[in-house]
Structure 1
Amino acid sequence: MGTTGQGQAGQDVDEANGQTVPKRSALSEFLVALRLTVVSAVTGAALAALVVAVIMKDVPVFLTGGGVLVVLILVGVLAGRRSPAREEPPAGRIALARIEDLRATSGESADVPVKFRLTVAPEDRPAYRVKIDQPINLVDIPAYRPRGIAVVEYRPDEPWNVRIVTRPTPEWSRRAEEAEIDSAPESTLVADPGVSEGSWCMLTLFAFLAGAALVVLLFRGELFTSGGDGEAGAKPPSSSSSSSASRTFSTSTTVSGPSASLLTFGRMRVTAMELETRVGTVYVTAITIEDHRMAVRGDSTRPVSETVHLQSLPYELFPGLVREARTTLGVRDPESWRIDVIPGTGAGAGPRVRVTVTGKEGTAHLDADATGRVTDRRAVGESG
C-alpha cells in the first residue's frame, strides 16, 4: 500500500505503545446498566409521585416523592466528589494517513475547526477510516488537501482517537512526501463507542418512563376520579422535506463597505464558506474572485476528480499572487484584477489558478498551482 507506519523513526513515541487497556468485563457492563436502570426508574417514579400528589393534593405522597429526589441528589453529589485513580493511558503511535476529505466549519479566528475524513495506515494493523475534528491554523490549511498525506498520532487501544501532527519531525515529513496510501474501504470506518451511546440513552429513557408509568398506574383510580384528567392535545409536529436535484448551479456574493476587499486576510476563506453553505457542497467546477465579489459554478453530475474543493485552496496566498501580478507584468496602473480557479486536467492534477490584471497598457496574467506556486507568467503584449 505504500509507505506507512512508524518504523524505528518514531523517536517521540513511548515504548509502551504495544500495551492496550483491557475492555471492561461483561459483569462490569451489566452492573453499570443495572445501576443506570434503577436510578432512572426511581427518578421517574419520584417525579411522577410529585405530579400525582399535586393533582390529588396528597401530602404524604408529595413528601415521599420529594424525599426520594433529595436522596438521589445527595447520592449524586457524594459520588461526584469521589476521585477514583485514573489509569495512565498508553502512549500514542505515529503513522501516516491519507486525507480523503476535509471541511472547515468556521473562520472567525486564526485557528479554524476542520472536519477530516482520513485513511490511517499504521504498520501494525490494516489501514482503516476515521473521522476527526481538529483546529488548524489558517496559514497551514493549504498544506492539507484531498488525497494528500499527513502525519498523525493515534492510540492503539482507541484507534478512533487520531490527531494530525501539524509540526512533524523532518524524518516524518520526508516519509509523508514520499508515501502513497490507498483509500481504505468505507466499511473499515471506526468511531468512538462512547460517542454513539444511543442504546444507553434509550435504556435511561425507557426506565424513566417505566418508573413514572408505574406510579400513575398505582394511583389511576384516585387520579381519574378526582377531576384531574388533563388532556394533552398537542399533536406531534409534522415535518415535510422536499429535495430538488439540480444538475448545475451558480451563485455569487458581494462584500460591501469603503474598506471591504476580498484581499483582506481571511476574507476569501470566510466568503468561500458562505458560498459553500448556499450551494450545499464543497465541490464546484469554477471559482471567480474579484475585489468585492466571489462567484462559484458547479455541476452535480461531474465526478469529484473534475471539480475544485472549495476549502482546500490556499486563499491566504492569493493576495500575494494578485500583488505580484499587478507589479511584475508590465501593467503600471492596474484598473482591475480577477482570479479564476478551474479543475486541473490529467490524473492527479490539482486545480489551476489564473490571476488576470487589466490596465491601460492591456491585460496580463500569471498561472499558479493548487499550492500557490507560480507556474507561468504572461506580461502585457505576450501571447498565450
Structure 2
Amino acid sequence: MAMIETRESVGERLKSGALGFLSGGVIGAALGCFVAGCILESWRLCVVGVGLFLFNMAAWAVRGRLQEARDVRAPARLALAVIESRRALGSDTADIPVEFELTVAPDERTAYRVKMRQDLNLVDIPDYRPRGVVVVEYRPDDLWDVKLVTEPTEEWARRASVETVDSAPVSAMVEAPRGDGAFCLLVLLGLLVGAGIVVLLFRAELADELGDSSTKTTSSSSSSSTYSETKVTSGVSTGTTVSGTASSDSMLAEGELRRLVGSLVSGMRTGNAATITIDDHGISMQGVLGAPADPGAVIDVNALPLERLPGLVRIAQTKLGIAEPNSWRITFEPVAGSAPGSGAVVIRVTVTGAEGKASLEADTEGRITKRNPR
C-alpha cells in the first residue's frame, strides 16, 4: 500500500473545507445580490453584491499571506538514491522527459521510494541506468519533491561512486497529496446555498418583477389605445377642452404608459391637461386647447415621470399595509403656489383592498415624499 505524505492534518482539512463552504456562500450571495439588483433595478443591491465579492477576495488574499508567513518550508537537502526503474517519454526536442522510480536514502531518516519526472538531454540518459546510484535533492517537508542533481559537488560525486543504496520496500512509496475534490464540492454547495438565500429573501419582489416582464411580452400585441374628442366650455381656458381615454391590457408594462399618453397627446393635439387620471383600467385625460386662463392649474403631460409610475404602484401595493390590493389609481395635482409653466405636480398613488385604502405621494421627479399606510 502506498504511503501518502501530507503536511495537512485532519483538523486543517476540516478547517479548509469549512472556509471553502463559507467562501462559496459569500460568492453565491454576492452573485445573487447582483443579479437580483439588476432585475429589480436596485443599484444598492448591486453594490452589496460587488462589495461581498470584493470582501471575499480580500479575505482570501489576507489568509494566503498569513499562511505563507506561517508555513516556511525547510531548505532542500542532498541525498543518495538508487534508480529502481526509468522510462523515457516521447519528445520532439533534445531534452527528453524521463520518469524515474527511486529509492532515496537521506542521512537523517529512513529510505523511501518516490516516483518523479525530469527532463534530461538525450546524450545524458545513459548515465542514469537502473541500479545506478545518483545524487538527488529533496525537501524534508515534501518528501515527494525530488530532483536529480546533474552536476553534484566533488564530495557527493565521490559518495555516489563508492557507496551503495539498498532498495526500500514498495510500501514505503511516497506520493504527493492528491487534489481535494471535496473542497471544490463544498465551495459549489456554499455558492448554491448563498444564492438560494438571496433568492428567498427577495422572492416576492422578483416574482412581481418577473411577472410584470412576462406580462410585457404577452400583452404587447393585445394592448390598444383610443381617444374620443368632445368640445366643451372650459373654465380654465379661453377656448375649449378635449377629453380622451386610452386603455391597455398591461398598464404597468415597461414603456406602455408613455406610449398610451403619447397617443392621447397626438390625437388630442395638446400636451396640456386640466386633469389626468391613470388606473388599472386605463387613462382618462381632459386636455386644454389654446392659452389657459390659469397656467398654474395646467399639467404638462409630457413632463410627467411616466417611467417611474409602475414602480410607485408596486411600492404602494406591497409597502403600505394592503395585503391583497385589488385596484390602484394615480392622480396628478399641480403644486399650489408654483410658478406658471414650472410643471410642478403632486403625484398621488392610491391602492384599495379588503383592509381599505392606502396611498403615497411623490414629487415631479417621481421621488416619494409622503406615505399614508393603512
Q: TM tier, shorter chain?
A: 0.3 to 0.5
Structure 2-normalised TM-score? 0.44
Structure 1-normalised TM-score? 0.43
Larger Rg: 2
